[in-house]
Amino acid sequence: MSFDRNEPIYLVIPDNWKEANLNEWKGISNKSVESQLAYYLNWRLERLLKSYKNITGN
């Protein structure tokens, strides 16, 4: 796999997340792209942290 390092990277919220989390998506879909991404990334981090805590018992 090759890529051009000069090409910008675009972050997008996955469509499957939008479908699975319709209420959250409806709440943020009218906000700026930056706000949408911030919400989504925060949501993902919270879920990953909860999973980690469940695994480690912390």
pLDDT score for 18: 95
Residue 4 lies in a domain: no
Q: What residues have CB less than 8 Å from 4, skipping those under 6 apart?
A: none
Q: Which two tokens stand for residue 8?
A: 């910008």
- Whether this prediction's pTM lies above 0.85 is answered by no
pLDDT at 11: 85
For residue range 3-57, what is the model confidence (pLDDT) as tens digits?
A: 778 888 788 999 999 999 999 999 999 999 999 999 999 999 999 999 999 988 8
Domain-located, residue 41: yes
CA angle 39–45–51, rounded 5-degree value: 140
11 lies in some domain: no
Q: Is 2 a member of any domain?
A: no
* H or E segment to which residue 52 belongs: helix 33-56
Please tell me the total count of domains within the chain.
Answer: 1
Buried residues in 23-54 as b, exposed as e (16+ CB within 10 A): eebeebeeeeeeebeebbeeeeeeeeeeeeee
Which range marks the domain in which residue 42 is found? 29-58
pLDDT classification of 1: cutoffs 50, 70, 90: low
**Residue 5 domain-assigned (yes or no):** no
